[in-house]
A and B are shown apart, each in its own frame.
Chain A
Amino acid sequence: MTSPPVSPPAAPPREVLPRGAPAGGVIGVSARRPDGVAKATGEFAYSSDLWMDGMLWGVTLRSPYPYARVRSVDIGPALATPGVHAVLTHQDVPGANRYGLEFADQPVLAEDMVRYQGEPVAVVAADHPEIARRAAARIAVGYDVLAPVTSARAAMADGAPRLHPGGNVVRHLKLRTGDPAARADLVLTAEYQVGMQDQAFLGPESGLAVPAEDGGVDLFVATQWLHADQRQICQALALPPERVRLTLAGVGGAFGGREDLSMHVHACLLARHTGRPVKMVYSREESFFGHVHRHPAALRYEHGVSADGRLVFVRAEVLFDGGAYASSTAAVVGNGGTMGFGPYVVPNAAMDCYGVYTNNPPCGAMRGFGAVQTGFACESQMDRCAAALGLDPVEFRVRNAMSEGSLVPTGQIIDSPAPVAELLRTVRDMPLPPDPGNAPDLRELPGGVSNTTHGEGVRRGVGYAAGYKNVGFSEGFDDYATARVRLEIAGGEPLVTVHTAAAEVGQGLVTVETQIARTELGCERVIVHPKDTGVGSGGSSSASRQTYVTGGAIKAACSRVRERVLALAAHRLGRIGAGLRLDGGMVVSAAGDPLISLAEVLSSEGIEETVQWRHRPTFPVDPETGQGFAHVQYAFAAHRAVVDVDTELGLVKVVALDCAQDVGKAINPQAVEGQIHGGSAQGLGLALMEEVQVTEGRIRNPSFTDYLIPTILDMPPMRLAVLEYPDPHAPYGLRGVGEPPTISSTPAIVAAIRAATGRPLTRIPVRPQDITGT
């Protein structure tokens, strides 16, 4: 085999950033994505597309063991490999060799211990990625292999190895409300399990670090939160923020998996060490080791109901396996614990929710964030209660549904619309798909063109579920966003530039940003400035929060710009500013009559305002009772699933998956639908196929060959009902959209399979053997 080349590619340097382009449309219309055309033509520059003259390739050497003591690391042979420019270990980390979203407990590069399979031990930079990979394979690491802790239960047991100095429990949330001794006519108890789900974003972890003349570094990277990354990188590099500048490269999906650092510090270390730009791109296999997953969970629920179909009490214990490092486990426990009873009124509730360290892959944020696991268990329990009472599952849910004014188990009163009952009735009343008939198309059957059945042994089932999710960061977190809005005259016409650091991860935030600016300033031409740390934090693109929080910041900044423009106009016109508005690039009267153009009002500098905006505060919950105003907003959805099940082979075809969701105000209806479709698909994946299979701390299926995500053949057509009941506390009345459909989709599908088969199905994903009982 010939050696890899050492000459750089002949490609020209590419534009690092997506282009901004006007797309048209105010809030409430389906404005087009400003990046849509570039994405459809292949011109959009994702983090793995970046290229610079003279750049090197970085790769990571990872631990093959889930738990081991590192005895020695010999980098000599690797460093001597021709074409290799650097081999770095923890000794080369200039600052704190610890990072983490909530607790700095994770080494940038392993020191004396490795705590999960895939933990980074060393990094290599070379002229070609294959040279770097081969050199990494020549690093000799001496390990003393230890017996890993492989379940949350084992980690909490007496005598378990302490994986971190503070012990193995990351957080225990205790919630107690009502009468602890409440008695019910009927009590139903069951245990549930949720497997480890992967975000499976398609664009792998990647980026380009460029050393700067000031001794700092510029990092172009795909992420969900530039400023949280910057804070952690600064600590590891021992550099001030002004010398660690981040720019968002094109992001190929996120879903929570990019909230933690991946290659960020490694690429910066290599770039600063070599003085050359360094690009790192994970392979799909490495990606499975390179980001956190959704927490697997073991859940035990006891539901007490009255004979007339009311929930009397719910008592629950929930164990989240956080894996080797904390990531966002504490916040996942906060969500799972406070919202672990479903969108229902529960007068007497007790919850013990734990997140613990193990030697399994680290777990953290994924769409639904703690509410997915508890949502599956709660909704399964609701079906069991309804069946035991002889009630229709929708009727039982409706009787117990939260509504505006309800007291949730944290003692918080819901102070905006909560149309849970209407959402359930809406999906129930949608038309059902037709029966397959006597000569069904193979493609419509479980097993598809594998020709496993022609309809024999196939049974149909229908299932329902509702779910809810907190929007924004909770429990007293200072959750804010920054927006800089500039209005100027360019080429004789008004031009608005919106600058935020809020990450566009595919959800369409850039579109919403242009729509809000257009609405507030009455100007057609709006450009979204590249996302970077040159402006204050936008907070995370997670928790369904960006349209609310960054949208709120843009609205507020536009409002200040507008006040200044109108004051200038009033001065020019010699009248008071009250009643003036902006429309079509003009200052207009209250009646809409054009008075003066913006071009005449604005000086050559334009007007710029920067605003830091916060939603109303939340508060920590009481450590003994879990009581408190923990969440700023709730968002609700309901699903109905229709499935055909081959009861002999355990194969499932989802025939219909219909959803109703309240979004407060659909800022971009097409994008809202896209979120509901996509979130429902990820819920379908968790119900039927998606699981990172971990045995003794090792991932057995780190590939898209063995970790299955839904294809276009797996997804049924979806009917949607989008309700718009405004939340008076939120900008434009809007409600976060992204997560609720992921929560109710999974339990609705499993309920439908139960209806078809009569099996208990207490574990997701549902496997063929769970259906056949073999």
Chain B
Amino acid sequence: MRVSCTVNGERLVADDVWAGESLLYVLRERLGLPGSKNACEQGECGSCTVVMDGVTVCACLVAAGQAQDRDIQTVEGLAATGAIEGAGLHGPGQGAGLHPVQQAFVEAGAVQCGFCTPGLIVQAASLLRAVPEPSDAEIREALAGNLCRCTGYEKILDAVRLAAARQAGQARRPGRDAGQGPR
């Protein structure tokens, strides 16, 4: 079958999709977007978290056909939705134009093997859109569906706190339209 949907703002089409495939498989193997990860493919680990019509879902639990005409945002498209002006890391390839959550993960040491990182970043960015200054308890609850095996989560908490603080600082800065940073 043919599946077409909007992914990171772009209308994409996948042909010859077998009905048993998941959205995750279509993203990774047919649309060239492997950023969403395949750690459990049974909805337990959150490593494939994407935003579908504004709601975070495990892409492994969405049948390919269910994605028809939906709006999907993956980790690959996240930076375009909220990069902070002038806040890139220093040096070439060091993340000018990253989303503040991505940047905070790198700076706080929240990335080790990184396999959980895309899902956690998509989930954390979604949390901060809804709750700009979450308490630790709110962060823990929001990220409870995302497994990480390397970090013990301490530096993930640090990263989300850092991103929240930066975004709050940014939002309070006069004369700036939050969330409209350079691409």
Contacts and interface: CB of A to CB of B under 8 A. Distances in A.
Most interface-central of A2, A41, A200, A678 (chain B CB within 10 A): A41
B114 interface: yes
A680 B151 CA distance: 9
Contacts of A253: 112-113, 115, 149-150
Given A30-B109, A681-B152, A712-B157, A2 B19 contact: yes
A10 interface: yes
Contacts of B146: 711-712
Interface string B75-109: 11011000000000111111100100011011101
Contacts of B92: 21-22
Contacts of A33: 106, 111
Contacts of B95: 37, 40-41
A485 B116 CA distance: 32
B91 A674 contact: no
Interface in A680-717: 680-682, 703-705, 709-713, 715, 717
B89 A37 contact: yes
A563 interface: no
A202 B147 contact: yes
A51 B25 CA distance: 13
A177 to B, nearest CB: 37
A715 B150 CA distance: 12
Interface in B1-42: 1, 14-20, 28-42
Contacts of B177: none
B62 to A, nearest CB: 17
Interface stretch (A11-19, A239-247, A635-643): A11-19
A122 B104 CA distance: 46
Contacts of B113: 201-203, 251-254, 505-506
A199 B149 CA distance: 9
B152 A42 contact: no
Contacts, number: 231
Contacts of A9: 29-30, 32
A763 to B, nearest CB: 24
Given A204-B39, A252-B39, A5 B91 contact: no
B181 to A, nearest CB: 15
B143 interface: yes
A8 to B, nearest CB: 9
Interface size class of A (residues with CB under 8 A): 35 or more
B45 interface: yes
A412 B131 CA distance: 57
A281 interface: yes
A74 interface: no
B114 A44 contact: yes
Contacts of A438: none
A6 B45 CA distance: 30
A6 B17 CA distance: 10
B141 A46 contact: no
Interface in A13-36: 14, 19, 21-24, 30, 32-33, 35-36
A11 B112 contact: no
A772 B46 CA distance: 33
A194 to B, nearest CB: 20
A12 B39 CA distance: 23
Contact of B37 (A36, A200, A252, A506): A252
A712 B158 CA distance: 12
Interface size class of B (residues with CB under 8 A): 35 or more
Nearest to B47: A202
Contacts of B149: 199-202, 253, 255, 678, 681-682, 709
Most interface-central of B16, B109, B141 (chain A CB within 10 A): B109
Given A9-B29, A506-B113, A678 B19 contact: no
Nearest to A668: B109
A128 interface: yes
Contacts of B148: 202, 712
Nearest to B12: A10
Interface in B143-178: 143-157
Given A37-B95, A443-B137, A717 B76 contact: no
B37 A203 contact: yes
A203 B111 contact: no
Decide if the interface of chain B is mainly helix, strand, loop or mixed: loop
A281 B102 CA distance: 27
B41 A284 contact: yes
A712 B111 CA distance: 15
A508 to B, nearest CB: 7
B44 interface: yes
A680 B111 CA distance: 17
B56 interface: no
Contacts of B40: 284, 703-704
B34 A14 contact: yes
Nearest to A11: B32
Contact of B151 (A21, A37, A46, A678): A678
A694 B42 CA distance: 22
Contacts of B137: 441, 443-444
B144 to A, nearest CB: 5
A24 B111 CA distance: 17
Contacts of B19: 1-2
Nearest to A679: B152
B93 to A, nearest CB: 4
A1 B65 CA distance: 13
A48 B42 CA distance: 16
A123 B35 CA distance: 28
Contact of B144 (A37, A441, A505, A713): A713
Contacts of B35: 41-43
Contacts of A35: 114
Contacts of B15: 5, 7, 10
A677 interface: yes
B121 interface: yes
A503 to B, nearest CB: 11
Contacts of A2: 1, 18-19
Contact of B91 (A4, A24, A48): A24
Contact of A252 (B20, B109, B114, B140): B114
Contacts of B89: 32, 37
A105 interface: no
B18 A128 contact: yes
A507 interface: yes
A39 B111 contact: yes
Nearest to B94: A37
A3 interface: yes
Nearest to A718: B154
A209 interface: no
Given A39-B117, A202-B113, 13 more contacts: A7-B15, A21-B93, A37-B93, A40-B105, A40-B118, A42-B34, A49-B28, A49-B34, A130-B20, A677-B152, A678-B149, A704-B42, A705-B44
12 contacts: A10-B32, A12-B32, A32-B107, A45-B34, A51-B29, A128-B18, A254-B113, A505-B113, A506-B150, A674-B152, A677-B154, A712-B157
Q: 9 closest Cβ contacts across the A-B interface?
A: A42-B35, A506-B113, A39-B114, A677-B152, A5-B16, A252-B115, A11-B32, A21-B93, A681-B152
